[in-house]
Structure 1
Amino acid sequence: MRPWNIHVRSSLGQFYMKKKISGPHFPEVIVRPVRSYREMGIFIDIPWSIYADDPMWVPPLRLERRLHFSRFNPFFKHGKWQAWIAYRDDQPVGRISAQIDQLHRERYGGHTGHFGLFECIDDKEVSAALFQMAEAWLGAEQTRHVTGPFNLSINQECGILVDGFDKPPVVMMPHSRRWYGRLLEEQGYQQAKDLLAYWIELDFKVPRLMDALIGKFADQVHLRTLRRDKFNEELEVLRDIFNDAWSENWGFVPFTQAEFAELGASLRLLVPDDCIQIAEVDGVPAAFMVALPNLNEIFAELNGHLFPFGWTRLVRIRSRGGVRTGRIPLMGVRRRFHNTPLGMALAFMVIDAPRELGRVMGVKAMELSWILEDNKPMRAILDSLGCREYKRYRIYQKML
């Protein structure tokens, strides 16, 4: 491997890297930190060139990305980050971020750190420059165990797509080029955990076991929709169930109140009440499910621009539909019901609720994502419903 120059400005937390290559046929790779509004625009726009020939990629909304990377993102109340862009011949050819999540460190130790937002041409030297930069920054933050990608946390987009490249991603799920996994492995990263996405047609036939369990607990369980007149209180109910239900899962970091409130602002605008279901046991909330219309069907036609008319199409979705697919991004059953017949009945009830989305919005099929590969009870439930695993995402890890 050729030598690298790495200059660290510890007081600013900024790095600069320049690849030293001799000879006229090897343009140098330069990695620069993102420091300005203009540079953030370049960082946001890099995927447009990386995926220019990939018909499955769905452009994000540039305005949403600006807000995501701004100080208004509640992640930055407990996390910090740095972003970089790789250039060759003054053209951006890749990007990466590194971040420290204090909530993750409180739970898993002060040596953890993450990378994310990785995009890169199929070039080992460019990816090496990006990862050595991110790792240098993380190392200066006393990181020894790196995991990722997280964009920016495990409660947002995460993972590298390793199977299922023939279908476009649904809303709030990532997409990747086929070479990303290889580039990470060339930098010494190994599989930490796989995340699965399942697909189901909403005209599925209810299995006999599901019917029997629902019938057995019908008098004990009440399934209701979101109460919009108590929206903030309802959000706290959902957050409390989720944080309890997922608390023992791999990589879990709790949603903060601010993070869930930000998510709730989107739900309030775009999701009909019927698409948020809460199951109560003896009058106490015990499980929930949130179903989203697949806004990527709209985003695919906007090329990143919400204005002048994109926003009207999004608002129209809530009142009259307009998409054919959806996604369940949030679901949970309180931990005390795990591995019990009642817990299985609760899961069946809230999973069955997406069929209401078909009635309300004309949705025909739904993605359920993501599911940990070793979550055998949930995978068994999905298999019984006729769901099929159709995408696989991988979280990578490395010891520094």
Structure 2
Amino acid sequence: MGIKVRKVESKSDLKQFILFPWKIYKGDDKWVPPLLFDVARRLNKKHNPYFEHAKAEYFLAERNGELVGRITAQVDKHYLEHWKERVGQFGFFEAIDDPEVANALFDTAKVWLREQGLEKMQGPFNFTINDECGLLVDGFDTPPMILMTHNPKYYQKLCESYGMKKAMDLLAYRTEASTEPDPIIVNFAELLKQKHEIKVRNMDWRNFDREMDWFVEIYNSAWEKNWGMVPLTEKELRAHALELRLLAMLWPEMNFFAEVNGKPIGMSITLPNFNEVLIDTNGRLLSLGSLKFLTHKIRSCRVFALGVKSEYRRLGVGAIFYIETLNSARRKGFQWGEMSWILETNEPMRRAIERMGGKV
């Protein structure tokens, strides 16, 4: 029998959709199982604020009654308005190593997107560029950092054999905590900090509402012209309020705002690499308290977001953030960090990271 692709229409279907990756990654010791409650929350169309400006359909592929793949197709009103392109996305793609299965899933997503009036399909995005996105094509020898993607090597072959072409390389730079940054950059950053009276402070989550407003303001300004960017809404950010509060309570020294005359001009968010402990939880976490208990084992961190408003980018704020983060990471006992991801076209950021000792 051939491949049958069907919509996810029941709670049982959704459970199968969520659990299917355990079949694909069985025996893969580099895979970090996603937290089940988090995946269920993100896929919940009634509670995920993404669906206030987007719609999606979820699909499962079967052969002889056995699940062999899954995919989502989604259309984001904010993306369409921002980029003026008739482009839809696919995401949450998982499949066995069989072109027939992958092609059936891609065809289904493409047809659904065409029915929405779209002309191109791009992915994978789970659901947007603000979530896990992209296809891993190099670096299979290590587990992914927190909120970074991981997939079998054969996924690239499945996508390319379908006719897909690379849209953009998303790079990850690794830096050892013991690496000394270029002293010229360090001194120059300090001079710029003094000259322009740039104040760098830790995020203050006691003033949570203000910090959330600043986060959204800086993000939507700093990333406005970045490839694939989708404006972030306050509701979408607040959907992660609990995680952000936990982050602030445990690691306030790793997260910064930069100000000039009391106005926000940039931010830097660094996440402890929770994947070092989540890899052993099998997708289940008893409580946030248990995560807090396990964090003493974490030895790496990821610079998750570093952005500066366009009119302030020549003030060396990125270098200031890097130095502040490196010093804090050393004090916290982190051994290495990753800056990811960085667009291949972002030459200024790439050069700065490389001069600081970062390597792809």
Q: Does 1:246 align with 2:223?
A: yes
Which residue number in structure 1 is paired with residue 210 of structure 2?
A: 233
1:156-175 counterparts in 2 under 5 A? 156-175=131-150
CA contact (8 A) 2:285 2:291 kept: no
Q: Does 1:183 align with 2:153?
A: no
Q: Secondary structure at the match of 2:302?
A: strand
Q: Name the larger-Rg structure.
A: 1
1:64-103 counterparts in 2 under 5 A? 64-70=38-44, 71-103=46-78
Q: Secondary structure at the match of 1:41?
A: helix
Q: Does 1:285 align with 2:264?
A: yes
1:292-307 counterparts in 2 under 5 A? 292-307=271-286
Partner letter of residue 151 of structure 2? Answer: S
CA contact (8 A) 1:275 1:356 kept: no
| CA shift for structure 1 position 46 | 1.0
- Which ranges in structure 2 are unaligned for 5 or more consecutive residues? none
| CA shift for structure 1 position 141 | 0.5
Q: Secondary structure at the match of 1:191?
A: coil
In 2, Cα distance between equivalents of 1:110 and 1:372: 20
| CA shift for structure 1 position 356 | 4.5
Partner letter of residue 248 of structure 1? Answer: K
In 1, Cα distance between equivalents of 2:111 and 2:53: 21
2:308 to 303, 316, 333: 333
In 2, Cα distance between equivalents of 1:110 and 1:354: 37
Q: Secondary structure at the match of 1:386?
A: coil
| CA shift for structure 1 position 359 | 4.6
Number of positions where the alignment pairs a residue of Structure 1 with one of Structure 2: 355
Which residue number in structure 2 is paired with residue 142 of structure 1?
A: 117
1:71-105 CA distances to partner (integer Å, 9 max, x unpaired)? 21111111110011111221111111000000011
4+ runs of 1 displaced by more than 6 Å? none
CA contact (8 A) 2:172 2:338 kept: yes
1:43-62 CA distances to partner (integer Å, 9 max, x unpaired)? 11111111112211110111
1:109-124 counterparts in 2 under 5 A? 109=84, 111-124=86-99
CA contact (8 A) 1:270 1:314 kept: no
Q: Secondary structure at the match of 1:210?
A: helix
Partner letter of residue 282 of structure 1? Answer: N
1:384 to 343, 352, 355: 355
In 2, Cα distance between equivalents of 1:191 and 1:383: 24
Superposition RMSD on alpha carbons, in Å?
Answer: 1.5
Which residue number in structure 2 is paired with residue 32 of structure 1?
A: 6
In 1, Cα distance between equivalents of 2:186 and 2:278: 37
| CA shift for structure 1 position 357 | 4.3
| CA shift for structure 1 position 360 | 5.4
2:28 to 14, 31, 54: 54
Partner letter of residue 261 of structure 1? Answer: R
| CA shift for structure 1 position 177 | 0.8
Partner letter of residue 366 of structure 1? Answer: G
- Which ranges in structure 1 are unaligned for 5 or more consecutive residues? 1-26, 390-400
Q: Secondary structure at the match of 2:168?
A: strand
CA contact (8 A) 1:112 1:146 kept: yes
In 1, Cα distance between equivalents of 2:193 and 2:162: 53
Partner letter of residue 157 of structure 2? Answer: R
CA contact (8 A) 2:269 2:305 kept: yes
Partner letter of residue 264 of structure 1? Answer: A
In 1, Cα distance between equivalents of 2:288 and 2:252: 20
In 1, Cα distance between equivalents of 2:75 and 2:102: 21
Query: Which structure: greater helix fraction?
Result: 2
Partner letter of residue 204 of structure 2? Answer: R
CA contact (8 A) 2:123 2:133 kept: yes
Which residue number in structure 2 is paired with residue 9 of structure 1?
A: none
Identical-pair percentage: 36
Q: TM-score by structure 2 length?
A: 0.95
Deviates more, 1:184-193 or 1:200-209: 200-209
Q: Does 1:350 align with 2:321?
A: yes
In 1, Cα distance between equivalents of 2:140 and 2:268: 27
Partner letter of residue 246 of structure 2? Answer: L
In 1, Cα distance between equivalents of 2:322 and 2:216: 18
In 2, Cα distance between equivalents of 1:270 and 1:356: 18
2:255 to 265, 276, 295: 276
Partner letter of residue 139 of structure 2? Answer: G
Q: Does 1:203 align with 2:174?
A: no
Which residue number in structure 2 is paired with residue 16 of structure 1?
A: none
Q: Secondary structure at the match of 1:205?
A: coil
